[in-house]
């Protein structure tokens, strides 16, 4: 009887990508287009010249303080700011050499940002294969998320660099357990903790995963399948990177992967042998092309080595421990509130490109690539097999990325820390590797090229728009002050978070004061911030300003009502000043949030 029931797998074409093939005209066009896009992305990183907003200006004000001395030092500023010191040490020596100009201070972040591409590629090559690593780097270089923080005088680009280096150190510890490997992990772990406290959530997540590896539950190790693949291929001659791919290919042929079953069914016939050899050859070609190498796991010894390295990071962090305790008790994030778990999905949108139209288009592509990376298995041409259980290494990488966000939200709800999208840079690297892997699952070269070009081009376009956005109205306010103000006039800044940006632009001779501390405007002191603002007396502050200005000088008030802990203080001061000096005019209107990030108004009170 004729068998008319043909399995779908038998009609699926062979993979179209083979190693060492000659580049075609389409390949050369694709490479040229990508070089242009990547060059544009690199240039965008050095294109932001607009004024610094609060976080950037505060970073520069702290970093340019002396390291030692009798007056305020950089470490005094860090204690009041609530930040660890590593990035600020880099920035301190940078501004000492290149100055505090807008472009100069942002260049350090751009260099950190570009430097992260090297370890990201090396990590990706070891975990997801050469081609997927290349895609991950391309998507990172053109990512709107990465482009924004490459142009900010903050530590987020350094976080990505240290995260990639830390991933390399952990992978080495799993693959080659040794004391030196543990030291590498310790240095990276300590460096991350000394760069941003949110990195502790990443270290906690990775540490928990390593504990699971050390316990070696069955679902984390696929030794049986790897051994079956080795036996089916004829012994130990198969490269470790090929084992999983061979086992997967054997499953698709319908051949048993358990060695005992191979023996029980007796010698295979010619057709079975041909199918087996074809599956092995195809899987070997895929592994040689760097499509999906076996996820590195050095057994219990490797997991213990990496875990010991993370614990050893506490030694690197220990000199800062007393400051960390003080900051935990007195600073925190009084400007915001803890997030809900919905913020996790929101982070994916931010990583893709943010709330803009281009960002939402990118989110559609990124979502598909994540699904392909986790559950997809390329069968050739346009055909993909989906395994809802997922596969390694994308399953673990996605777990580490999402797990870090989950830990961050949970910790924030427990201790009251706020969520900020920029903080999620701590979990960005594993996510990049997942989408890089997803782009290589479908074996159609046309699909691959179109997907990478669209994502890269859209990323640069969206990133450039975000990078060029006005970040503060400080320069606009300074322009009005240069026209209307004279030496001896008083400038009140409410809330004080507007001060660091204004301090870099306002004309000399003004008596500028932060509300409610009456301190100079260059730095915000976050110590016991909420309690201090709630205890402030707006009437006394307004009267003090009027007394200082006297009968001959004007009072200017830069204020915004949209800041937490300042809900009524600025309004009350404005009302009292209007009562004491009725001749008031609005010099500068508050900008739209969609057009300027740090927005406020400027009011003049004449004698």
- Is the distance from CB of 439 to CB of 135 less than 8 angstroms? yes
How many Cβ atoms are within 10 Å of 270's Cβ, its own excluded?
7
Burial 375-394 (b: 16+ CB within 10 A, else e): bbbbbbbebbbeeeebbbbb
Residue 474's pLDDT is what? 95
pLDDT of residue 389: 85
Residue 193 lies in a domain: yes
Do both 384 and 418 map to the same domain?
yes
Which residues are CB-neighbours of 139 under 8 A, at least 6 positions away? 432, 435, 436, 439, 452, 455, 456, 459
* Residues of the chain scoring pLDDT < 50: 1-17, 218-267, 280, 283-296
Which of 288, 309, 343 corresponds to the end of one domain? 288
Q: Examine residue 10 and state whether it is found in any structural domain, yes or no.
A: no
Give me the sign of the Cα torsion angle 220, 442, 293, 452.
negative
In this predicted structure, what is the pLDDT of residue 20? 58
Give the total number of structural domains in the chain.
3
Give the end of a domain, one of 467, 482, 504: 467
pLDDT at position 235 is 39
Question: CA-to-CA distance for 567 and 448, rounded, in angstroms?
Answer: 51
> Are 64 and 211 part of one and the same domain?
yes
Q: Model confidence over 402-438: pLDDT tens digits?
A: 999 999 999 999 988 889 999 999 999 999 999 999 9
pLDDT confidence of residue 299: 73
CA–CA separation, 338 vs 420, rounded Å?
9
Measured between alpha carbons, how far is 395 from 398 in angstroms, rounded to an integer? 5
Angle at 333 between CA 147 and CA 96, to 5 degrees: 55
Pair (478, 513) in one structural domain: yes
Range of the domain at 518: 473-605
Q: Partners of 376 in the beta sheet?
A: 386
Question: End of a domain among 288, 311, 335?
Answer: 288
Residue with tokens 């915001």: 336
On whether residue 59 sits in a domain, the answer given is: yes
* CA distances for 182 relative to 173, 174, 418, angstroms: 6, 10, 33
Token pair 């070009």: residue: 453
554 shares a domain with 447: no
Residue 6 falls within a domain, yes or no?
Answer: no
Q: Which of 375, 430, 461 is nearest to 147 (CA)?
A: 461
What is the pairing mode between strands 470-472 and 601-605?
unpaired
Cα distances (Å, whole numbers) of residue 495 to 100, 450, 484, 507, 558: 24, 48, 22, 20, 8
Query: What pLDDT sits at residue 539?
Result: 95
Same-domain check for residues 448 and 316: yes
CA–CA separation, 54 vs 471, rounded Å? 9
> Could you tell me the two tokens for 28?
């050369």
- Residue 42 domain flag: yes
Specify whether the CB–CB gap between 296 and 175 falls below 8 A. Answer: yes
Cβ pair 314, 190 in contact under 8 A: yes
């Amino acid at each position: 009887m004729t068998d008319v029931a043909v399995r779908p797998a038998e009609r699926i074409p062979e993979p179209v990508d083979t190693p060492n093939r000659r580049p075609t005209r389409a390949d050369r066009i694709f490479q040229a287009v990508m070089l242009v896009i990547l060059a544009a992305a690199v240039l965008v990183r050095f294109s932001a010249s607009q004024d610094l907003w609060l976080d950037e200006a505060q970073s520069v004000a702290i970093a340019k303080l002396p390291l030692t001395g009798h007056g305020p030092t950089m470490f005094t500023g860090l204690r009041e700011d609530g930040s660890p010191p590593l990035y600020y040490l880099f920035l301190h020596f940078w501004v000492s050499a290149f100055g505090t100009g807008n472009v100069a201070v942002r260049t350090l972040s751009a260099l950190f940002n570009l430097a992260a591409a090297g370890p990201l590629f090396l990590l990706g090559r070891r975990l997801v294969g050469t081609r997927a690593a290349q895609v991950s780097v391309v998507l990172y270089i053109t990512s709107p998320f990465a482009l924004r923080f490459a142009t900010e005088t903050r530590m987020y680009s350094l976080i990505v660099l240290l995260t990639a280096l830390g991933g390399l150190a952990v992978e080495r510890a799993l693959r080659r357990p040794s004391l030196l490997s543990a030291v590498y992990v310790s240095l990276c772990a300590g460096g991350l903790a000394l760069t941003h406290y949110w990195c502790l959530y990443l270290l906690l997540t990775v540490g928990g995963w390593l504990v699971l590896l050390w316990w070696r539950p069955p679902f984390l190790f696929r030794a049986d399948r790897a051994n079956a693949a080795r036996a089916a291929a004829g012994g130990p001659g198969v490269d470790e990177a090929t084992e999983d791919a061979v086992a997967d290919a054997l499953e698709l042929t319908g051949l048993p992967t358990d060695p005992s079953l191979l023996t029980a069914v007796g010698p295979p016939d010619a057709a079975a042998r041909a199918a087996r050899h074809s599956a092995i050859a195809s899987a070997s070609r895929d592994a040689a092309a760097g499509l999906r190498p076996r996820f590195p796991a050095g057994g219990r010894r490797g997991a213990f080595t990496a875990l010991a390295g993370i614990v050893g990071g506490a030694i690197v962090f220990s000199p800062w421990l007393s400051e960390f305790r003080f900051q935990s008790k007195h600073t925190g994030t009084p400007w915001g509130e803890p997030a809900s778990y919905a913020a996790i999905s929101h982070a994916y949108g931010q990583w893709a490109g943010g709330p803009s139209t281009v960002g939402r288009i990118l989110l559609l592509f990124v979502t598909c690539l994540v699904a392909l990376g986790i559950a997809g298995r390329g069968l050739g041409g346009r055909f993909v097999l989906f395994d809802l259980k997922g596969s390694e290494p994308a399953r673990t990488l996605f777990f580490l990325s999402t797990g870090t966000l989950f830990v961050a939200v949970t910790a924030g709800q427990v201790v009251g820390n706020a969520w900020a999208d920029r903080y999620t840079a701590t979990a960005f690297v594993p996510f990049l590797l997942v989408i890089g892997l997803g782009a290589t699952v479908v074996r159609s070269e046309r699909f691959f090229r179109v997907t990478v070009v669209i994502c890269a081009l859209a990323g640069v376009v969206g990133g450039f728009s975000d990078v060029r956005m006005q970040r503060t109205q400080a320069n606009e306010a300074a322009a009005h002050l240069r026209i209307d103000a004279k030496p001896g006039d008083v400038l009140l800044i409410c809330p004080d978070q507007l001060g660091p940006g204004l301090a870099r632009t306002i004309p000399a001779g003004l008596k500028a004061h932060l509300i409610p501390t009456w301190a100079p405007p260059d730095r915000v002191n976050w110590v016991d911030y909420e309690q201090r603002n709630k205890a402030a007396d707006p009437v006394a502050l307004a009267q003090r300003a009027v007394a200082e200005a006297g009968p001959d000088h004007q009072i200017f008030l830069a204020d915004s009502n949209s800041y937490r802990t300042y809900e009524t203080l600025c309004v009350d001061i404005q009302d009292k000043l209007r009562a004491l000096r009725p001749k008031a005019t609005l010099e500068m209107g508050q900008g739209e949030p969609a057009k300027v990030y740090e927005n406020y108004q400027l009011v003049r009170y004449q004698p």
